[in-house]
Amino acid sequence: METVLVSACLRGVPCRFDGRHKASPEIEAALADREPVPFCPEIAGGLTTPRHPAELVGGDGHAVLDGTARVIDDMGCDVTAEFVAGARLALAAARRSGCQEALLMPRSPSCGRGTVHDGSFTGRLTAGDGVTAALLERNGITVRPAPGP
């Protein structure tokens, strides 16, 4: 059975910044006939639940990995190191499990694929990828945003 790395919050783990999850019937349907490997890079990187929301400032996850952007929470704390550490651990988990694909939480500063929050904490979105999505892509793992809202 094909394995797929999945944002843990999409599998019902209450690990989002607000202490909630984002499990849904659409997610379960997208995982049919595949073995999910749930993983939360933010928790793995050392952040707690709940935690202050964070956004990418100065670029997307690729820019963070290149050292030209940061991940900052809404109190002004730099949490870049935790996001990068979590991304590295997510990549290790994907490799260990043989995942060639990842189904990740949309718009997240870790897991977003194609669209992320713009760093203004106003709800505005911009083109880009989260830190984990960027690292997975750079290492040949296909990243897809999860279906649903």
Coil, strand or helix: which one is 111? coil
pLDDT tens digits, one per residue of 36-76: 999 999 999 999 999 999 999 999 999 999 999 999 999 99
Q: How confident is the model at residue 149 (pLDDT cuts 50, 70, 90)?
A: low
Which DSSP symbol is given to 85?
A: H
pLDDT of 83 above 90: yes
Q: Is the link from the previous residue into 106 a cis peptide, with omega within 30 of 0?
A: no
CB neighbours of 94 closer than 8 A, spacing ≥ 6? 5, 37, 39, 102, 136, 141
CB neighbours of residue 52 within 10 Å: 14
Q: Residue 9 burial by CB count (10 A; 0-12/13-18/19+): exposed, middle or buried? A: buried
Query: What is the torsion angle, in degrees rounded to the nearest 10, for the CA atoms of residue 88, residue 68, residue 127 and residue 113?
Result: 0
What's the pLDDT tens digit per position in 4-27? 999 999 999 999 999 999 999 999
Model confidence, pTM: 0.97
List the strands of the sheet with 101-104, edge to edge.
Answer: 35-39, 3-7, 101-104, 142-145
